[in-house]
Amino acid sequence: MKETLNLVASSKSFGGWQQRYSHHALSVGCEMTFSIYLPPAAEQSPVPVLYWLSGLTCTDENFVQKAGAQRVAAALGIAIVTPDTSPRGEQVPGDPEGAWDFGLGAGFYVDATEEPWNRNYRMHDYVVNELPGLIEAHFPVTKNRAISGHSMGGHGALVCALRNPGRYRSVSAFSPITHPGDCPWGRKAFTHYLGTDETLWRAWDACELIATARERLLLLVDQGQDDNFLVEQLKPEALEAACTEAGYPLTLRRQPGYDHSYYFIASFIEDHLRHHAAALLAD
């Protein structure tokens, strides 16, 4: 029996449909919301899916409203699914000090092991397993999946792909937190979600996972050179060094003048969609 989905909103866009749904998610123990863009081709036959993971403080709607991805997705015949960035609700604990970089809106796409976070903050399981199962049961899509994201979501996209060989056909990221074990945002989140044993953090750090990756998906990363978080938080040079040492295929594009905003994402989203289409639509 299919899980119940509640339609929250639906709008026609470039011949397809941009929709928003809510449902009760078992993996995170609360009501979750996601958005899905179904291109016109989905009315004729199942289409492949790109999963987009958003960054700190975002919801499922930021990408939908600001990235301008629907036009190209419609032309390519690709669905786009955008989950929320964390569990939410009165029963879900947030940062006790109300900080924006941890807790609600900042799940970091890990499966928390520490109390009280481990009861709800299991976003990796939700993104990799529960949500795709739901999408594939309810919508006209294939099991050809790709994953991408921005900032914290870029970290999530890299980790999801690296931890789950064979699950995705392609991966990309905008301004990812490449080495969370070595930046303030990541260290704060990992200490709370995963505990103080830093050896356990390696399983959720792209720079650590690259060394033992069992699959070689061509990785496309765009990074704005005028990003305020570039030096302290994002550290693309760490990812570049890890890929070079491991022989992992990376295309890292440093974009002069661009910052951390959705103006940056909107400027290059077509390149990323075409990068994924090449893998998703291949025989």
Half-sphere exposure of 37 (CA within 13 A, CB side): 29
Which DSSP string corresponds to 168-185?
A: -SEEEEES----GGGSHH
227 is catalytic: yes
Strand pairing class (30-38; 16-25): antiparallel
Phi/psi at 44 (5° precision) = -105, -40
Catalytic residue among 54, 151, 170, 172: 151
Q: Which of these, 274, 3, 38, lies nearest to 146 by C-alpha position?
A: 274
* Catalytic residue status for 283: no
Candidates 52, 54, 49, 3; CA nearest to 25 is 3
Residue labelled with tokens 């600001």: 66
Name the catalytic one among 227, 272, 275, 276: 227
- In angstroms, rounded to a whole number, what is the distance separating the alpha carbons of residues 255 and 5? 40
Spot the catalytic one: 124, 155, 179, 260.
260
Burial of 255 by CB count in 10 Å (0-12 exposed, 13-18 middle, 19+ buried)? middle
Catalytically annotated residues: 151, 227, 260
